[in-house]
Chains A and B, each alone.
Chain A
Amino acid sequence: MEEVPQGCPGTGSAQAGRGASCQGCPNQRLCASGAGAAPDPAIEEIKEKMKTVKHKILVLSGKGGVGKSTFSAHLAHGLAEDENTQVALLDIDICGPSIPKIMGLEGEQVHQSGSGWSPVFVEDNLGVMSVGFLLSSPDDAVIWRGPKKNGMIKQFLRDVDWGEVDYLIVDTPPGTSDEHLSAVQYLSAAHIDGAVIITTPQEVSLQDVRKEINFCHKVKLPIIGVVENMSVFICPKCKKESQIFPPTTGGAEVMCQDLKIPLLGKVPLDPHIGG
């Protein structure tokens, strides 16, 4: 489980190889020599690999449980309705990979070929990759620290044989941490079209989403727009609307106006999806 020492300052840090916690680490000499600060060769390799991928879209939120994976899956299916459009869905939520379940692909395994890992195809023109396919049981927990998660994301971007793809949609976990930094870093030479940011209407979500928007600005990731999910609930019996997650500070609409970001749309709560 442990690959780096506790208190590792990070291989890119000025203290790399020199900190007290570096003593005894097998990489100490490498880090102290400054090799850790050199750009990762994988970035160029991924740039090459991504030449066959026309558009790359990251689906982000600061907040958990707002519907990133649900949205990613629906977007992928929607784009793939045109059988001439090749779509790829990459799930980089290493700890909580939801895409296999949502796409009905639980239990599928990944196969290796000469040209790399084969994605799991749910349609002829829709391929999926997730750490979920690498786990042998639904109880398997991926208890990894940042560096190991980053390694997996590098492999997903570099070693999966996506082929010719019109749209690569990348589903992410909540937060602004290793997975997000790695995705942006490894794709830095390959041009990401932008990010779609998902939120729910209430302020407790919006306050995390504003942080995610700031993250995008910090790493110069263009924002395509915001989707407000779970907007209203329509009672299946009386058809009247209720707001389960009330937009106490104006919801995504006001946030988007304030931050001058497009609001791409609002999606209601649908028990058929939630169930």
Chain B
Amino acid sequence: MEVAAEPGNLAGVRHIILVLSGKGGVGKSTISTELALALRHAGKKVGILDVDLCGPSIPRMLRAQGRAVHQCDSGWVPVFVDQEQSISLMSVGFLLESPDEAVVWRGPKKNALIKQFVSDVAWGQLDYLVVDTPPGTSDEHMAAVEALRPYSPLGALVVTTPQAVSVGDVRRELTFCRKTGLQVVGVVENMSGFVCPHCAECTNVFSRGGGEALARLAGVPFLGSVPLDPELTRSLEEGRDFIRDFPKSPAFPALSSIAQKVLSKAPARVS
């Protein structure tokens, strides 16, 4: 007998998006962060759930390192990264004694924490919950999908870089989505070309075209290509708001367009 999910702490969350890749280092956390910032600038209230337990990158990207997590009656209070409290964040990064502390856990322990992150964080009212994941198709991904399934996520944003070695892993991630019944909102191709600041020549540092071809092959939407942009990298290193501070930067148009496409996918909910 299937038990109906207790709405609990996700009752006020309208749309859930998972950001996945089979491949590491393609920019999942970057895209998660920029998507959250862009959605915030579009007037939405956003939560970010960072389920990368071994390599939690999001706190630094939003200048929230070292913040403490407090408890309330409904569970853990997520960390607000801005004064207006329009972006909240939960990450294992906040639970470590030191930033260099390694989380050396096997699967079952990781699964248990991810379940807690889904059910025991008091997210409150959110328009979007963006779930950033580590690379792969293993414990964290299965735990996140299973815990979120009762809340009907909007789907997965799958990130790749153009070259074959990334596309090869991301094909497997698309299979994971199919097997677990997770809809693919679209594919984002990151690190798509670098424009030399000295001579404006564009070099395809990580090859080209792989993301768009993959989307076509898999029959899923292609949401856009984001170029390599040292301004974006620097902005993330310093925990700055790239969307607000660098509208003229090469990556800005692509990131804004991706956010618009995500906004247009969300079905109107009858309240």
Contact = CB atoms under 8 A, between A and B. Distances in A.
A271 B194 CA distance: 10
Given A10-B106, A204-B237, A242 B55 contact: no
Interface string B173-201: 11110011000000000000010111101
Interface string B3-24: 0000000000000000000111
A7 B206 CA distance: 40
Most buried by A among B54, B57, B164: B54
A62 B101 CA distance: 12
B163 A237 contact: no
A190 to B, nearest CB: 21
Interface stretch (B34-42, B121-129, B226-234, B258-266): B226-234
B63 interface: no
Contacts of B25: 63-66, 174, 200
Contact of A244 (B164, B166, B230): B230
A237 B196 contact: yes
A141 B175 contact: yes
Nearest to A143: B137
Interface string B191-225: 00010111101011111000000000000000000
Contacts of B155: none
A136 B225 CA distance: 30
B203 A271 contact: yes
Contacts of B161: 65
Nearest to B206: A274
Given A146-B107, A175-B54, A64 B23 contact: yes
What's the dominant secondary structure at chain A's contact region? Answer: loop
B174 A139 contact: yes
Nearest to A66: B25
B199 A240 contact: yes
Nearest to A210: B100
Contact of B107 (A66, A147, A210): A147
Nearest to A98: B165
A141 B24 contact: no
A72 interface: no
Given A62-B55, A236-B203, A244 B228 contact: yes
B134 interface: yes
B135 A95 contact: yes
Contact of B198 (A145, A211, A218, A235): A235
A10 B104 CA distance: 14
B171 interface: yes
A74 to B, nearest CB: 14
Contact of B135 (A96, A202, A233): A96
Given A211-B100, A244-B194, A175 B172 contact: no
Nearest to A211: B102
Given A10-B109, A65-B23, A176 B199 contact: no
Most buried by A among B60, B109, B142, B169: B169
A8 interface: yes
Interface residues of A, number: 68
Given A207-B60, A211-B101, A275-B207, A236 B135 contact: no
Contacts of B237: 202-204, 246, 248-249
Interface string B46-79: 0000000011010011000000000000000000
A142 B168 CA distance: 13
A246 B136 contact: no
B80 to A, nearest CB: 22
Interface in A62-86: 62-66, 69
B245 interface: no
Contacts of A213: 100
Given A139-B175, A174-B24, A96 B233 contact: no
Interface in A1-57: 4, 6-10
Contact of B205 (A238, A240, A246, A269): A269
Given A64-B24, A177-B107, A248 B238 contact: yes
9 contacts: A10-B108, A62-B54, A65-B166, A141-B172, A145-B111, A174-B25, A181-B106, A203-B237, A248-B237
* Closest CB pairs A-B (n = 9): A65-B25, A64-B24, A146-B107, A175-B54, A95-B136, A141-B175, A275-B207, A238-B199, A141-B172
Interface of A: 4, 6-10, 62-66, 69, 94-96, 98, 101-102, 138-147, 149, 173-178, 180-181, 200, 202-204, 207-208, 210-215, 218-219, 233, 235-238, 240, 242-246, 248-249, 269, 271, 274-275
Given A65-B161, A145-B139, 13 more contacts: A65-B23, A65-B26, A177-B54, A178-B138, A207-B99, A207-B100, A213-B100, A219-B104, A237-B199, A237-B201, A237-B203, A238-B198, A240-B198
